[in-house]
């Protein structure tokens, strides 16, 4: 059974600082997604990572994927308050029929303080 | 608005009652997914459809849960004989087949009293 673990689960940081969220997964997969969720809202897609060594960047967020280590990172550069949210990584689970739904981590609740 | 639409937004029901939720996906998307999310957790995969075919349903939480997508467009998720443990946010998502990301709706929040 595919397990997806994120750490930390909770992170409070100051504006202007850098930090990295880690996502480990337990079985082979070649697709990993990062989502953002604001309180009371639904999930917003941030990045799709499709191959080993993939790196995507959008603004102050950069995501990478190492399929050999089964590890993805989400790096935050010079954090600003608007990035406060819960961040989820999700990995494709495969069955005999092909790709099934995504298995999500528990999320990293990020608070960025002025 | 051409996003994923879910109705109702909130549902309060008494234990033992049946409930049904509706999801209207993005029109050109052929895949439709149902997830459950409880407080402080990530979404938990329940089932998905490609067009009208339900390709995975073994992870529906019990035989009280069922889903349909009769014409390959909208979908319904039914929970029979609701229990307090069913209280959660039920999320629907749609996508194109392949690597495109899932687009989530705003969810239906179920409270079982």
Is 70 exceeded by the pLDDT of residue B1? no
Report the C-alpha gap between A7 and A20 in whole angstroms.
Answer: 9
CA-wise closest residue to A60 among A93, A25, A19, A30: A19
pLDDT, residue A33, reads: 95
Minimal C-alpha gap between B94 and chain A (Å): 11
Question: How far apart (Å, rounded) are the C-alpha atoms in residues A5 and A7?
Answer: 7
Nearest to A23, CA basis, from A59, A67, A56: A67
Predicted local distance difference test score (pLDDT) of residue A92 = 86
- Are A41 and B106 within 8 A, CB to CB? yes
> In Å, what is the CA distance from A29 to each residue of A67, A68, B47, B61?
7, 10, 19, 24
**Is the CB of B102 less than 8 angstroms away from the CB of A103?**
no
Query: Mind listing the pLDDT tens digit for each residue in A18-38?
Result: 999 999 999 888 789 999 999
Tokens standing for residue B68: 């349909």
Question: Of B43, B46, B55, which is closest to A104 when you measure between CB atoms?
Answer: B43
Mean pLDDT of B47-60: 84
Structural contact between residues B89 and B9, judged by C-beta atoms closer than 8 angstroms: no
- The DSSP output letter for B100 is P
A36 - beta bridge partners? Answer: A44, A87
Secondary structure letter of residue B106 according to DSSP: -
pLDDT (tens digit per residue) in A55-75 = 999 999 999 999 999 999 999
Q: Does residue B35 carry a pLDDT above 80? A: yes
Q: How far A99 CA lies from chain B's nearest CA (Å)?
A: 9
At residue B22, the pLDDT reads: 98
Write the residue in B101, B106, B107 that is nearest to A45 by C-beta.
B101
Check whether A97 has a pLDDT greater than 70: no
Quote the CA–CA distance of B22 and B11 in Å, as a whole number: 12
* CA B31 – CA B48 distance, rounded (Å): 7
Cβ atoms of A49 and A104 within 8 Å: the answer is no
Name residue B1's beta-bridge partners.
none
Query: Taking CB atoms and an 8 Å cutoff, what residues of chain B touch A45?
Result: 101-103
Which among B35, B56, B99 is the nearest to A100, CB-wise? B56
Chain A residues with CB within 8 Å of chain B CB:
4, 31, 33, 35, 41-45, 48, 50, 88, 90, 93, 95, 97-98, 100-107
> Between A and B, how many residue pairs show a Cβ–Cβ distance under 8 A?
60
Confidence band, pLDDT 50/70/90 cuts, at residue A98: low
Q: Which residues of A touch B104 (CB under 8 A)?
A: 35, 42-44
Does the beta-carbon distance from A104 to B106 stay under 8 Å? no
Find tokens 């406060």 and name the residue.
A84
Q: In Å, how far from its chain's centre is CA B101?
A: 17
């Amino acid at each position: 059974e595919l397990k997806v673990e994120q750490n930390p689960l909770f992170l409070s940081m100051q504006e202007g600082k850098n930090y990295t969220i880690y996502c480990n997964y337990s079985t082979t997969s070649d697709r990993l997604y990062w989502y953002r969720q604001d309180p009371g809202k639904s999930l917003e897609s941030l990045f799709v990572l499709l191959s080993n060594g993939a790196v995507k960047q959008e603004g102050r967020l950069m995501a990478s994927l190492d399929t050999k280590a089964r590890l993805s990172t989400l790096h935050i550069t010079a954090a600003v308050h608007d990035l406060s949210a819960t961040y989820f990584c999700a990995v494709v689970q495969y069955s005999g029929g092909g790709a099934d739904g995504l298995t999500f981590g528990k999320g990293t609740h990020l608070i960025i303080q002025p | 608005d051409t996003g994923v639409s879910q109705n109702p937004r909130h549902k309060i029901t008494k234990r033992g009652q049946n409930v049904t939720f509706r999801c209207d996906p993005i029109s050109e998307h052929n895949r439709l997914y149902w997830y459950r999310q409880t407080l402080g957790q990530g979404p938990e995969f329940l089932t998905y459809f490609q067009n009208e075919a339900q390709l995975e349903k073994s992870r529906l939480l019990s035989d009280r849960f069922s889903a349909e997508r009769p014409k390959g467009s909208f979908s319904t998720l039914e929970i029979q004989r609701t229990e307090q443990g069913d209280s959660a946010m039920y999320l629907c998502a749609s996508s194109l087949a392949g690597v495109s990301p899932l687009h989530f709706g705003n969810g239906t929040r179920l409270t079982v009293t």
